[in-house]
Amino acid sequence: MRGRATRRLVTAGRNGLRGFWAAPLVSAVSISTMAAGLLVLGAYLLFVGNMRSVLEEFGSDIRLVAFTPEGAELPPEGAAALARDLVGVTGVAAVRFVSSDEALERLRGELGGDAAILEGLERNPLPASFELEIEAGGRSPAALEAIAQSIGQLRGIAEVRYGEEWVESYALFVRVAEWLGLGLGVFLAIVLGAIVSGTVRLTVHARSDEIQIQRLVGAGGLFIRLPFYLEGALQGGTAAGLAILLLYGVWSLGLPIVVEPLEFLLGPRAPEFFGPAQVLTLVLFGVGLGCAGAIVSLLRLEERP
């Protein structure tokens, strides 16, 4: 009995493949439209995904800088005592002292050929500072704010700076982009689902005689519906595969062109393509869309002839 059920499924599967090939032009149009939609979605996801990793990477070396008052000499003992106080603040993982001489050296390095303008200075105008590494839990904008406040109250600290605004607005940007991506995903799911649904309905229509005959000689609901689900799934999966291949092609060829103008958003690190898990998710998204479209188009198929 089990063998019979399996064979029935196999036959239904064969019929689905038959449907897929029966109207190659319709299938091709449906697949390419879906592929185009999924391509747009994929490109967008790549963009957002890479922005997100910038955010994560930036978060891992987020630093607070606490400046001592300008012009005040800080003896080594004083610096050591302040460093101890700073490490005592909750959320601070490590402290590094940057003397005013070291700060000037760095500035000189950054200026490079223009360092000559520093020659006219009578004395070093840069204050000594402490670079603070923040614990993993304290990197959210609110936590940073709190840490900055407690440090600011310490005696001997004049000013606290951190990348607050930049991080916050970038995070907001990424979040908005993610929401837009979700919206785009839902929109495309509806549009592409409707496309598959339309294609499958065409097949159902073309095969209505066959369906009626199959029913009359005892075909069950699943035997009749399965081929259409399979056809939808096949279209969705093929479209997703095609979209990923195309995207990868564009990625490999066109990346050098787009990377430079987008560097301000993506940072200097090399952007990454989808990993295997993400590729699988996209393919499953396509397959799911195809099935859903087929299911919708079969909702109105009557149970009795």
Q: Residues interacting with another protein, by CB under 8 A? A: 3-8, 11, 209-210, 212-221, 223, 303-305
| Closer Cβ to another protein, 178 or 210, answer by number | 210
Secondary structure of residue 171 in the 3-state scheme? helix
Q: Which is nearer to another protein, 188 or 219 (CB)?
A: 219
- Whose Cβ is closer to another protein: residue 119's or residue 303's? 303
Taking the complex as a whole, how short is the minimal distance between the CB of residue 7 and another protein, in angstroms? 5
Nearest approach, Cβ of 209 to another protein (angstroms)?
7
Considering the complex, what minimum distance in angstroms separates the CB of residue 35 from another protein?
29
Kindly tell me which of 22 and 40 has the beta carbon lying closer to another protein.
Answer: 22
What gap in Å lies between CA 80 and CA 217, rounded to an integer? 91
Task: Show the tokens assigned to 178.
Answer: 């993610």
Nearest CA-CA partner of 282 in 47, 43, 33, 29 = 43
> Alpha helices of the chain — where are they, by DSSP H?
2-22, 24-60, 76-88, 100-111, 141-152, 164-206, 208-216, 221-259, 263-266, 276-298
- CA–CA distance from 4 to each of 10, 13, 15, 210, 285 (Å)? 10, 14, 17, 21, 31
CB of residue 11 vs another protein: minimum separation in angstroms?
Answer: 5
Instruction: Considering the complex, state which of residue 85 and residue 210 has its C-beta at the smaller distance from another protein.
Output: 210
The least CB distance from residue 221 to another protein, in Å, is 7
